[in-house]
Structure 1
Amino acid sequence: MHRLLEGIALVAFDLDGTLIDSVPDLALAVDAALADLALPTAGEARVRDWVGNGSLVLMERALRHALSHSGKASLDIAVEVDCVLLERAHAAFLAHYGRDPGAHTRLYPGVRECLDGLRAQGLTLALVTNKPHAFIAPILEGFGLEAHFALCLGGDSLPQKKPDPAPLRYLAAHFGLPPSACLMVGDSRHDIAAGRAAGFRTLAVPYGYNHGEPVRDSGPDGVVESLGELV
């Protein structure tokens, strides 16, 4: 057992960039939504840097980039039209992504072994993601992992989402555990900030989506190259 699991009863995982590489599907949906609005597409590489703060922020970043490269926005009207375009773009994204959110999504190496091993050891597993809750079940079911998690929280499950610590505090209270008996595992500074503020132990993986910054700079309690190292 990894040293960071000593005294831990609950392990909370982020989803995108931690357990799964979902960017191929997210990028397809982002570009389809932009195309619906006759705006320039973004491409997978850019979307990879925009993921992590929920679907609305993802589409806001994509929309701002597209407008700046389309010649359709001017400084004096961009703010005025932004909210209208964002609502349309976000709705289009949700529609496109919802058709098959796991078509090109893959588990990272070591994830299945980690989840199976921790579950076998009797640890409670939970999921805390900023992805809309409606997309969680189809993705987990596609990998046969839906039974591994005792509770899944999406970005719209509570009024707050990461980096706010509220979802993690909710988890600890839900299972009647002190925060010190809980571990947050994620790929971004938002996961580490939320975990630290909630009083959780924190563990980072370096391969995910952290806006181009090394996640080690966020000061997690530990870093593993693969989640398989936990078991």
Structure 2
Amino acid sequence: MAASIILPQGEISNVGLAVFDKDGTLIDIHTYWANMVKLRAEHVGAALGLASAHVTGIMEAMGVDARAMRIKPEGPVGLKKREIVLQAGVDYLAQNGITDTHQLFVDVFAEVDTKSLDLLDTFIRPLPGLRQLFDALRGNGVAIALATTDKTERAWLCMRHLGLGDHVNYIAGADIVAEAKPAPDCIHLCCNELGIPASRSVMVGDARSDVQAGLAAGCAASIGVGSGLTATATLAGLTPYVIEDISHMHVR
């Protein structure tokens, strides 16, 4: 089946698959990642007996403005693979004379993955229009997939927590592809698994890397949304399809 995606800039017809970024597109990126990074930094700090200034330093290195509890536009958290975020914390401590912490960070990241399961109501905040859009896509026979820099398992956890697990047909996290966005690997995997060509798919995301991945994959449209880290003016330099948030995306 197929449907048309209606945007302020026009209509994209014969769409069989909508691929979404997760953080900043479907859920509030600042609430999710600022809290995750804070919890990670606090656990590392407790394990090493660090002063609070170093806990804050780890957060800043990973890409969180600790005072505002907001993600920095340059990341790396929210934009780069998990391993890059982890290494940023390791490098910060090494620059401050605290070495050989890589395995500690690996263990803490895994521990926080588990501990955060009890905090999902605090960490996950859906953005406006999410359920309505997913209901409309599903009702019109359009498959839904996620292409995310998060772990695949964590993305599924998020969708299930929001009550949308049965709406999503496939998720490709950065942990199951050779190259994360802006490479097209995640999108190609979604298309291949669902049997829908990129030419009948749209990519929707809040970051430059999302739009670039959609373009590289050969999607029918690469749609930028201004609800995350990237200004709509910046996204408009990459694609003609830019919306404030997914509530401005409709299905017919």
Q: Alignment partner for residue 27 of structure 2, among 20, 27, 50?
A: 20
After TM superposition, give the deviation of residue 198 of structure 1 in Å. Answer: 0.7
Q: Name the one with the larger strand percent.
A: 2
Q: Alignment partner for residue 92 of structure 1, among 105, 108, 112?
A: 108
AA aligned to 2:15 is I
1:48 and 2:67 equivalent? no
Local SS of the residue matching 2:175? coil
1:10 and 2:11 equivalent? no
Local SS of the residue matching 2:174? coil
Local SS of the residue matching 1:29? helix
Match of 1:114 in 2: 133
Normalising by structure 1, what TM-score? Answer: 0.83
Q: What is the rounded CA distance, in whole Å, between the counterparts of 1:33 and 1:214 in structure 2? A: 38
Q: What is the rounded CA distance, in whole Å, between the counterparts of 1:97 and 1:213 in structure 2? A: 32
Equivalent pairs, count = 219
1:179 and 2:206 equivalent? no
Whether the aligned pair in 2 keeps the contact of 1:13 and 1:127 (CA below 8 Å) is yes
Q: Percent identity?
A: 22
In structure 2, relative to structure 1, the CA distance for the partners of 1:27 and 1:132 (3 Å cut) is: same
Q: What is the rounded CA distance, in whole Å, between the counterparts of 1:14 and 1:181 in structure 2? A: 17
After TM superposition, give the deviation of residue 167 of structure 1 in Å. Answer: 1.7
After TM superposition, give the deviation of residue 66 of structure 1 in Å. Answer: 5.2
After TM superposition, give the deviation of residue 153 of structure 1 in Å. Answer: 1.2
- After TM superposition, list the pairs within 5 Å mapping 1:30-179 onto structure 2: 30-35=40-45, 36-37=47-48, 38=50, 39-41=54-56, 42=59, 44-45=64-65, 48-49=71-72, 50=75, 51-65=78-92, 67-68=94-95, 71-72=96-97, 81=99, 84-101=100-117, 102-104=120-122, 105-179=124-198
AA aligned to 1:26 is M
In structure 2, relative to structure 1, the CA distance for the partners of 1:217 and 1:229 (3 Å cut) is: closer
After TM superposition, give the deviation of residue 213 of structure 1 in Å. Answer: 9.3
1:202 and 2:222 equivalent? yes
Deviations 1:111-145 (A, max 9, x none): 12111122112111101111112212221121101
Whether the aligned pair in 2 keeps the contact of 1:153 and 1:167 (CA below 8 Å) is yes
Alpha-carbon RMSD:
2.4
> Could you list the runs of 5+ residues in structure 1 that have no partner in the other structure?
74-80
AA aligned to 1:48 is I
In structure 2, relative to structure 1, the CA distance for the partners of 1:161 and 1:4 (3 Å cut) is: farther
In structure 2, relative to structure 1, the CA distance for the partners of 1:148 and 1:215 (3 Å cut) is: farther
After TM superposition, give the deviation of residue 217 of structure 1 in Å. Answer: 5.6
After TM superposition, give the deviation of residue 108 of structure 1 in Å. Answer: 0.9
